[in-house]
Amino acid sequence: MTDSPSSPKDTVTLTNNSSGKSVELPLIAGTVGPKVMDIRSLYSDMDLFTYDPGYTSTGSCKSAITYIDGDEGVLLHRGYPIEEIAEHGDFLEAAFLILKGELPNDAQMTKFVTDISRHSMLNEQISFFFRGFRRDSHPMAVMCGVVGAMAAFYHDSININDPHQRMVASYRLIAKMPTVVAWTYKYAMGQPFIYPRNDLDYASNFLHMMFATPCEPYKVNPTLARAMDRILILHADHEQNASTSTVRLAGSSGANPFACIAAGIASLWGPAHGGANEAVLAMLHEIGSKERIPEFLKRAKDKNDPFRLMGFGHRVYKNYDPRAKIMQRTCHEVLDELGIKDEPLLELAMELERIALSDEYFIERKLFPNVDFYSGIIFRAMGIPTQMFTSLFALARTVGWIAQWNEMLTDPEQKIGRPRQLYVGAPPRHYLPLHQRG
Ligand code: SDX
């Protein structure tokens, strides 16, 4: 990747026809993917801002972590295809890769697993935070609060300028998120917290904390643990999505890692983003039967109707989300393992997908199922309440958020994020005393 044009042709000439001003903007090539036009000098050279609400054509940073080719439906983590990582790896191996840039060797993996296991407990005082919430609080509200408040405890890992403290905070967040999520669930259920166990792998430990009780031994189903581990891999990182961009923007001001991850949790909560997995299940329940699918597809196309087909469409993927294919396969695996035959919601989801993918509106707009379309059916089959679905997404995405946060802080070009705007408000005017106003 070069920061300067490799040849004169690697520039774009921008001419402002009204002022006659021109500027040569360098084109920068990455490893793969489209080149970027470096517009950092645009305002100083041309007295112009760019305008790109939603950042549809704007690169916010350089990153070596994840690459997505939306047209081809390709997702790479540090160059490795998601399909290969999901097939052959496990979540902590993926976490090591995403965080450190290379697949771990045997010794590195053993140490990483041990380190993460030994950071999985929460300070006992933190358990009292949960009690401040209503039992019927949305789990994402509890997670925002508890994760943000972790900054009040782990003072020895909030100095963002100390690489060691950054890594300690990174390990703590990856290690403790399953405990936070499981305890959020237990608190809502009115059941006692179950402590993490260092003899269990990451996904098994999470399921054990979710479903064990002090009253009797609980054996984690290894097929479900493998499925959960794979689902966590699929949700680990995804380039500069809304919540990751939120974490980067919060981190660019120098905010501590716990505050930044809490900000990411807040952004992920939205139904257009991580909240979609919860919204998909609500949508399937609302549709109710295959006979009503045409009615809802009609609504999804109606610009005057706010209804959207949840779990469908993506800002980047204009092809099938590679994660959704693996999720669909995992869905069948989990239902088979649990002996759930003819799950009506899965039947409905597959029929909805079949019809939508043959509908001109969806074909024309290249709308395909995304990672959220099948996840809720799997989680529900595992006994996880709908309101917890996005919390599981946050659990997995903590790896990506923290890796991107570290990358942002070590980027020599990083500055505080501060976009500009197109002002369309009132023209300059003077204050009128009350008695002079109409
Ligand atoms: C995630 O960014 C990421 O990487 C996110 C994520 C990650 O891992 O971090 O992949 C996770 O958030 C997946 C997306 C989950 N959200 C949903 O499933 C909610 C439903 N999807 C839509 O809200 C929508 O597709 C978005 C928000 C995902 C993408 O929105 P865009 O890119 O802004 O798309 P758009 O609004 O520009 O859509 C283009 C057209 C529009 O129609 P026209 O104005 O061209 O006529 O497609 C239509 C949209 O109305 N459209 C849909 C639709 N999604 C887009 N129409 C009906 N149903 C949909 N789901």
Using the Cα atoms of residue 56, residue 57, residue 60 and residue 64 in order, give the sign of their dihedral: positive
Residue with tokens 């967040």: 173
pLDDT given for residue 115 in this prediction: 98
- Catalytic-role residue among 77, 138, 238, 314: 314
In Å, how far are 62, 107, 269, 277, 400 from 97, measured between CA atoms?
A: 18, 14, 26, 26, 10
Listed residue (409, 430, 96, 72) closest to 233, CA to CA: 96
Alpha carbons 283 and 348: distance in angstroms, whole number: 11
pLDDT given for residue 7 in this prediction: 59
Provide the residue ranges of all domains of the chain, joining segments of one domain with +.
92-412
Atom from ligand 1 closest to the CA of residue 242: 2
Q: Which two tokens stand for residue 178?
A: 């399953």
Listed residue (245, 265, 262) closest to 151, CA to CA: 262
Alpha carbons 24 and 10: distance in angstroms, whole number: 10
Cα distance between the two ends of the chain: 61
The mean pLDDT of 387-403, rounded to a whole number, is 98
- Alpha carbon 264 to its chain centroid, in Å, reads 8
Q: Is the pLDDT of residue 9 over 80?
A: no
Alpha carbons 245 and 240: distance in angstroms, whole number: 5
In this prediction, residue 1 has a pLDDT band, given cuts at 50, 70 and 90, of very low
Ligand 1 centroid, distance to 304 Cα (angstroms)? 16
pLDDT given for residue 297 in this prediction: 95
Ligand 1 centroid, distance to 195 Cα (angstroms)? 39
- Residues 6 or more apart whose Cβ sits within 8 Å of residue 337: 221, 223, 224, 227
Atom from ligand 1 closest to the CA of residue 280: 18
- Residue 350 gets which letter from DSSP? H
Alpha carbons 110 and 192: distance in angstroms, whole number: 31
Contact, 369 vs 321, CB < 8 A?
Answer: yes
Beta-bridge partner residues of 15: 22
Ligand 1 centroid, distance to 316 Cα (angstroms)? 9
Of all helices (H) and strands (E), which one includes residue 75?
strand 74-77
Ligand 1 centroid, distance to 320 Cα (angstroms)? 13
Residue nearest to atom 37 of ligand 1 (CA): 315
The domain defined by 92-412 folds into Citrate Synthase; domain 1 (1.10.580)
Mutate to test the pocket of ligand 1, among 273, 296, 318, 362 (most ligand atoms within 8 A of CB): 273
Beta-bridge partner residues of 238: none
Burial of 417 (0-12, 13-18, 19+ CB in 10 A): middle
Q: Parallel, antiparallel, or unpaired for β 80-81 and 36-37?
A: unpaired
Identity of residue 135: R
pLDDT given for residue 2 in this prediction: 47
Ligand 1 centroid, distance to 322 Cα (angstroms)? 16
Residue range 214-264, pLDDT digits in tens = 999 999 999 999 999 999 999 999 999 999 999 999 999 999 999 999 999
* 372 catalytically annotated: yes
Residue nearest to atom 27 of ligand 1 (CA): 272
Query: Percent helix, strand, coil in the chain (nearest 5)?
Result: 50, 5, 40
The mean pLDDT of 270-276, rounded to a whole number, is 95
pLDDT given for residue 3 in this prediction: 54
Identity of residue 343: E
Listed residue (365, 392, 28) closest to 210, CA to CA: 392
Residue range 23-62, pLDDT digits in tens = 999 999 999 999 999 999 999 999 999 999 999 999 999 9
- Catalytic-role residue among 162, 372, 430, 435: 372
Ligand 1 centroid, distance to 359 Cα (angstroms)? 16
Alpha carbons 176 and 162: distance in angstroms, whole number: 21
Atom from ligand 1 closest to the CA of residue 313: 25
Query: CA neighbours within 13 Å on the CB side: how many for 317?
Result: 22
Beta-strand runs (E) in 196-255: none
The mean pLDDT of 125-136, rounded to a whole number, is 96
Ramachandran class of 319: left when φ > 0, alpha when ψ lies in -120 to 50, beta otherwise: beta
Mutate to test the pocket of ligand 1, among 308, 310, 373 (most ligand atoms within 8 A of CB): 308
Binding pocket residue ranges, ligand 1, CB within 6 Å: 54, 238, 241, 272-274, 276, 300, 308-316, 365, 367, 370-372
The mean pLDDT of 263-278, rounded to a whole number, is 96
Of all helices (H) and strands (E), which one includes residue 145?
helix 139-149
Mutate to test the pocket of ligand 1, among 231, 269, 315, 373 (most ligand atoms within 8 A of CB): 315
Ligand 1 centroid, distance to 309 Cα (angstroms)? 9
Mean pLDDT of the chain: 96
Contact, 338 vs 277, CB < 8 A?
Answer: no
The mean pLDDT of 350-365, rounded to a whole number, is 95
Mutate to test the pocket of ligand 1, among 314, 366, 373, 399 (most ligand atoms within 8 A of CB): 314
Residue nearest to atom 40 of ligand 1 (CA): 365
Ligand 1 centroid, distance to 90 Cα (angstroms)? 29
Q: Which two tokens stand for residue 350?
A: 């597959």
Q: Which two tokens stand for residue 138?
A: 């949305």
Beta-bridge partner residues of 36: 28
Residue nearest to atom 14 of ligand 1 (CA): 273
Residue range 300-355, pLDDT digits in tens = 999 999 999 999 999 999 999 999 999 999 999 999 999 998 889 999 999 999 99
* 199 catalytically annotated: no
The mean pLDDT of 400-419, rounded to a whole number, is 97
Listed residue (318, 223, 234) closest to 274, CA to CA: 234
In this prediction, residue 5 has a pLDDT band, given cuts at 50, 70 and 90, of low
- Alpha carbon 45 to its chain centroid, in Å, reads 36
